[in-house]
Amino acid sequence: MRNFKATAAFSGTAYHGFQRQEGGLKTVQGEIEKAVYKLIGERVTVNGCSRTDAGVHANGFVFNMFLENSIDCRGLQFGLNGVLPPDISILSVEEAPPDFHARYNCRGKEYIYLIHNSEIKSPFYADRMYRSWYPIDEKKLDRACKAFIGEHDFKAFCAASCDKEITVRTIFDYSVSREGDVVKFTVSGDGFLYNMVRITVGTLLFINDGKLAEDSIPNIIASRDRARAGKTVPPQGLYLNRVFY
């Protein structure tokens, strides 16, 4: 039995996240597992590097699975792409050591969040970006977001339903930039709490709108109080961009 490591990209619009769920909800994991069975007739469990919320996308989602079939990496990649839905693509496949696990061996992740900052909506961005008509000062937010970098207790930046006892995480880097009407928030770290990226972006938007001071993030972190932080922005602007091993 061989262990295959694969990287996928997907649009999360039609899915209830990556991880398989009860009740027959449509998930990315479920579609990949069905595709493997259709291709080679094996029932497999796909191990994803992360869960994703409904509507969240991925540019470089890593998973692994064990197969008995003699298919090679190229055959697996192209074969899966031939049977998967058009909103899921296998970017690469390679054999991995038997002890490799996409989740447990992960050393960090990078997310991006995209905002279409325009008064006029785009029909092409509807499910790919969050739209905010209010002018965004990306330079101001790039300064403010640096306060997230480092090891901190991010209790104030996770959803109330988050069940993690340990809420300390390390952010490697955070930046805000603009390309035309698109503002991009890029954040990398060793791990993220439930809704953490979306709440940090929402907090930065509160700073942009004058609802919070530019230097307020350290005090919000210290408070550990979710009510002190900003809103949770919608999922359609969020992408799991890269996974580090």
The residue ranges of every structural domain in the chain are: 2-96, 108-244
Structure confidence at residue 89 (pLDDT)? 98
Beta strands (DSSP E) in 26-126 are: 47-48, 57-67, 88-96, 108-116
List the one residue out of 49, 3, 8, 19 whose CA is nearest residue 245: 49
Residue 16: its pLDDT value, please?
Answer: 95
Predicted local distance difference test score (pLDDT) of residue 23: 80
Which residues, other chains included, contact 83 with Cβ-Cβ below 8 Å and sequence gap of 6+? 35, 38, 39
Write down the pLDDT at residue 157.
96
Mean pLDDT by 10 residues, the chain (245 residues): 97 95 90 98 96 95 97 98 98 98 97 97 94 96 98 93 86 98 98 96 98 97 96 97 97
pLDDT at position 107 is 96
In this predicted structure, what is the pLDDT of residue 161?
74
Q: How far apart are CA 63 and CA 239, in angstroms?
A: 16
Predicted TM-score (pTM) above 0.85: yes
Q: Which residues are catalytic?
A: 53
The predicted pLDDT at position 94 comes to 98
- pLDDT score for 31: 97
pLDDT score for 165: 84
Calculated CA dihedral for residues 63, 128, 205, 174, nearest 10 degrees = 40
The two tokens of residue 197 are 């990226």
For domain 108-244, the question of CATH label 3.30.70.660 is answered with yes
**Nearest C-alpha neighbor of 188 from the set 239, 115, 234:** 239
Same fold: 2-96 with 108-244: yes
Predicted local distance difference test score (pLDDT) of residue 63: 98
* CATH architecture under which domain 2-96 falls: 2-Layer Sandwich (3.30)
Upper half-sphere CA count for residue 109 (Cβ side, 13 Å): 27
